[in-house]
A and B are shown apart, each in its own frame.
Chain A
Amino acid sequence: MSSVHHGTPGSPGGDTAAGATPRGGDSAGEELSLEEAIHRVEEAEHEGRPPAAGTLSNTLTAAAVVALGIAALIGSSRLGLGTARSPEAGTWPLLVSGALVLLGLGLLATARRTTDAERFSRASLLVLGGLATMVVFVAVISVIGFEIPAALLAFVWLRVLGREGWRTSILTSLGVVVAFYLLFVAAFSVPIPHLF
């Protein structure tokens, strides 16, 4: 919330940061204070990241926090609130979720000035794809064992998400599964579901 300052307003790094990364020799005469240095650390960390999110997404985030807080408030009141003298199971969750609601409202109030969230872009689809491979993995592992879903996961990550070549993708994903099989099943005999 305190990111309203000089430097890169309206962006957590992104495009502007690419030009403002830590410079070596060309920062002649520039005063590098601690604050400046910290600022650069943040910029360096955000190098190559998408631009800042808009007010709508910040508002939605804050609303989600408030909603979570309210849900937890309702949940804790069902547990029995107790009193300060004799705390019940719901006392502590009530305090925490109350704080959560208040903080969420604070976030809502400052949503317009928030610059530390990132915009969702086409690249975010890669993340969805990555998550999908994991969901498939966990869904089928107890039925058909870990080998096939693991090879598939590795292959999708290499070929589709990582844009590696066909040969590298196929060989690496097979190699990884063989290595895992030898390590977990043959060497450590972990009771992980497996086909062979």
Chain B
Amino acid sequence: MDFAPVLHGFGVVLEPTNLLYCLIGVVIGMLIGVLPGLGPAATIAILLPVTFGIEPVTAVIMLAGIFYGAQYGGTITSVLLRLPGEASSVVTVFDGHAMARQGRAGTALGIAAIGSFVGGTVSIIALTLVAPLVAGFALDFGPPEYTALALLGILLVATISSGGRLKAVIAACVGLLLATVGQDGFTGAERFTFDNLSLADGLDFVPIAMGLFGLGEILYNLEERHRAAQAPVAVANVWPSRADLRQSSGAIGRGSLVGFVLGILPGGGATLSSLAAYALEKRRAKHPERFGKGAVEGVAAPETANNAAATSSFIPLLTLGIPANATMAVIFGALLIQGVTPGPQLVEQDPDLFWGVVNSMYIGNILLLIMSIPLVGLFVKILKVRATILAPVTVLITLIGVYTVRNSVFDIGLVIVFGALGYLMKKLGFDPGPLVLAFVLGSLLEESLRRSLLIFDGDATGFFTRPISGTLFVAFLLVALLPPLRTALRRRRPAAVPSETATQDKELV
């Protein structure tokens, strides 16, 4: 492959503005990773208005930094306070906190930082090699392929999201419906606008994402009983010993691989890969009973994997234009706002953006490695800022921020409506992630479907006769129909052993 644009991408990253925003991104990411409550999707949504005034490359460099920076930050609270700052750091709690209680908190954090760095870097290199191939392959995709791909992507994200699968698919359908509001691109007919002028151009992505992820999460957290503050464990030496490094090197290697592969899959992402990497290490270990009691591999593997996954989940976004998880859906929205349509043509048409963003991750990971080891104490202090003080500040940032996008009071109202909806959804067990994802992909999906039907002259079997769209549709049907069938079969055999039902749990996360 041609490496000239790759190298040119470094030139883009090294521009002072981009370096600065990369630093801002990773610092914010690390902060929200440390603070339990707001996740990366919510933070990126809340910061969307900030990205309007800056260049697309710079904006995405910052947003990407928030995403992978959060993976580093989440570790700190898992290890020191037994409070996972991020869902993807929950498994780190098992061994990380056990190590902290043995006085090895520093080692756990050090290994996690090194593992994250290695995982991230391996994943960027793999991304550099794989992404152009995927994009080249996808250049021939026509409307039928995009229909199938978007449907499969939405379904996979809904299948693996937290909460029930049925509810996640319902959320996705609501997202698709919301995407139809406004003028129909083909006929010009006004749909679901209720004669409201503000709705004529359709619903804007920003208030939806800010409301569902940002306000929804803050309102949901209001109900939470406040967890008793815990004195953090003192951190002594953060440099892992040679023995620790040797012991965890295998875990870091395998974690990188698991994370990279699972990160590419729609719905995979950081949380699932950290769990898978932990389980893999435990299965391979000679003494699996050490896990949960402070095994260094039990920290190294999941932390490496979640970072590798955070990086590789950019592949489907940047090469196919299909976001693989909720955070990617928000970044997708940010790109669309900037006038950049992610897709297979991005590598060729906008190499500065593509390689600038990819290469910024090297810099970001180095910055994080530098920050996370000596600055651990500083980040722990931030935990003392109470959620009750952060919440109103975040609410005001959201309300005023959404106004600044289009100078519209209507948008403030919209963000509040979607905040209420986001709260209700979380409360009733609906994951808002699939809704936002489906909303983002909605117009692409409808347009591709209608174009395909025109191409096939109304014959829907055409989807199955084209090799790629056919394969994707068969996969779609398998994912859609297998789990309900399995549940139905199992109900006929009520004597199913518990371990069998347990496999079902995988679908929940």
Contact = CB atoms under 8 A, between A and B. Distances in A.
Interface of A: 1-6, 12, 21-25, 27-30, 32-42, 44-45, 47-50, 53, 57, 61, 65, 68, 72, 75, 79-80, 83-93, 96-97, 99-100, 103-104, 106-107, 110, 114, 116-118, 120-121, 123-124, 126-127, 130-131, 134-135, 137-138, 141-142, 146, 150, 153-154, 157-158, 161-164, 168, 172-173, 176, 180, 184, 188, 190-192
Contacts of B502: 5-6, 33, 35-36, 39
B177 A116 contact: no
Interface string B435-459: 0000000000010011001100111
Contacts of B379: none
Contacts of B184: 79, 89
A71 to B, nearest CB: 10
29 contacts: A2-B165, A2-B508, A3-B508, A5-B505, A24-B292, A25-B98, A27-B293, A28-B293, A34-B276, A36-B502, A37-B278, A38-B275, A41-B91, A42-B162, A42-B508, A45-B90, A85-B458, A87-B454, A92-B449, A131-B219, A138-B399, A138-B409, A138-B416, A153-B395, A162-B386, A164-B389, A190-B403, A192-B400, A192-B407
B196 interface: no
Interface string B389-400: 101110110011
Contacts of B192: 72, 75, 93
Nearest to A44: B90
Contacts of A88: 187, 189
A90 B249 CA distance: 57
Given A89-B191, A138-B399, A38 B223 contact: no
Contacts of B446: 92
B282 interface: yes
Contacts of A37: 91, 94, 275, 278-279
A89 to B, nearest CB: 4
Given A5-B505, A48-B227, A106 B166 contact: yes
Contacts of A79: 184, 189, 191
A40 B84 CA distance: 12
Main secondary structure of the interface of B (DSSP, over half): helix
Nearest to A106: B166
Contacts of A121: 223
A25 B393 contact: no
Contacts of A99: 173
Interface stretch (B61-69, B334-342, B420-428): B420-428
A40 B487 CA distance: 22
Contact of A107 (B167, B294, B407, B507): B167
B460 interface: yes
B354 interface: no
A188 B174 CA distance: 37
A162 B394 CA distance: 14
Contacts of A39: 502, 505
Interface residues of B, number: 95
Contacts of A87: 186, 449-450, 453-454
B423 A127 contact: yes
Nearest to A34: B279
Contact of B392 (A29, A138, A173, A192): A173
B94 A22 contact: yes
A24 to B, nearest CB: 4
B105 interface: no
B227 A93 contact: no
A45 B278 CA distance: 18
Interface in B458-509: 458-460, 483, 487, 498, 501-509
A176 B275 CA distance: 40
Contacts of B291: 32
A87 B189 CA distance: 13
A180 B81 CA distance: 33
A84 B400 contact: no
Nearest to A43: B90
A90 B101 CA distance: 61
B33 to A, nearest CB: 15
